[in-house]
Amino acid sequence: MNKIQVKKVLIFRLGAIGDVVHTTALIRSLKAFDSKISIQYLTTKIPSQLLEYDHDLDKIWIAENKSYWYIHNFSKKLREEKFDICINLQPPTIRNKIFSFLIGTRKTLNYRKDFRFHAVENFWTTAKSIFNDLILPENLKLSIPENIKERFLGICEGRKVIGFNMGVSSTRQGRRWPINYWRQLAKSLIDKYNCKIILTGSSDDAAFSEQILDVSLNIESYCGKLSILENTALLSICDVVISGDTGPLHIATAIGVPTIGLYGAAPVSRTGPYGTQATALYSDRKCVPCNRRKCKYSKKDDLYNLCMEDLTPDMVFNSVKNILNKF
């Protein structure tokens, strides 16, 4: 099948924000391959907001639940679109296979997780069997309307702005960096640069993140106060974003902000921040990366994984300094 025959494509990825961000390289590749291809995207409500202003997408579909009855009815609407190809970037479960089959495309390309590749490349490679000449972009790209960006420009006040995304999923505590490290880093950065530090994340992140507010009046929390698109615009005004392996880190890379990813058990080669302005810090322990949710060497009451404790505030401070010295 060549590019002349492929006129309409559906990309299908639900779930995690970071995963959806990582699939955007495929969107750019397809449009660069053939600008006339119509691309539509199926995802869930929250990550759909990141794609709402994407000029390379003709339509975004939102899946509201995963019940078989819903899938059956929703697939009828998608079937009417008469897609040539469905690029199914979901894990290969029975439910996902049934759904992609019911859409009724001429060809379905199914994603297979392969830890030999970064997630961006792994998603992108899924389409290579049909589009042989695809070129993988060096950087990810998300679009934010200028009117939303403008709401946050006043935060800068002529100073450097550094974003701290301190929260992690409750199921991924092994990705959390110690609170006393965040406090030390914040003090060092403010003492050195008189910068503004903004805390980003959801309302679930507020209790942990806001423990550093008393370090300085130059720290301001936006945790739980913004939509995902507004949070993206907030990240866009930062000179540097520091984060564990979570959605906002990958969003920051996709809007061209220099990022520093703090990695413990997770393999950087698989989920590290992607792009030419991305830096990943990780422990040199022999057991890293183990990709375990709980460190097997930790004691019962330990709050943090040992490999995350190996990443000292000085290490992160020096990485920030190297980035800011380039300006």
104 and 168 fall within a common domain: no
Structure confidence at residue 322 (pLDDT): 96
What one-character DSSP code corresponds to residue 74?
H
Q: Would you place residue 295 in the very low, low, confident or very high pLDDT band (cuts 50, 70, 90)?
A: confident
Whole-number Å distance between alpha carbons of 133 and 129:
10
191 and 261 fall within a common domain: yes
Residue 204 CB neighbours (<10 A): 14
- Do 215 and 191 meet the contact criterion of CB atoms below 8 Å apart? no
3-class SS string, 219-245: EEECCCCCCHHHHHHHHHCCCEEEEEC
Query: Containing domain of residue 43, as a range?
Result: 8-125
68 and 153 fall within a common domain: no
With a CB cutoff of 8 Å and minimum separation 6, the contacts of 224 are 201, 202, 203, 204, 205, 206
- Do 19 and 122 meet the contact criterion of CB atoms below 8 Å apart? no
Lookup: tokens for 301: 């009451």
192 and 103 fall within a common domain: no
84 and 45 fall within a common domain: yes
* Percent residues over pLDDT 70 in the chain: 97
157 and 273 fall within a common domain: yes
- For residues 210-230, average pLDDT: 97
Q: pLDDT (tens digit, 9 = 90+) per residue, 86-130? A: 999 998 888 888 888 889 898 999 999 999 999 999 999 999 988
3-state secondary structure of 191: helix
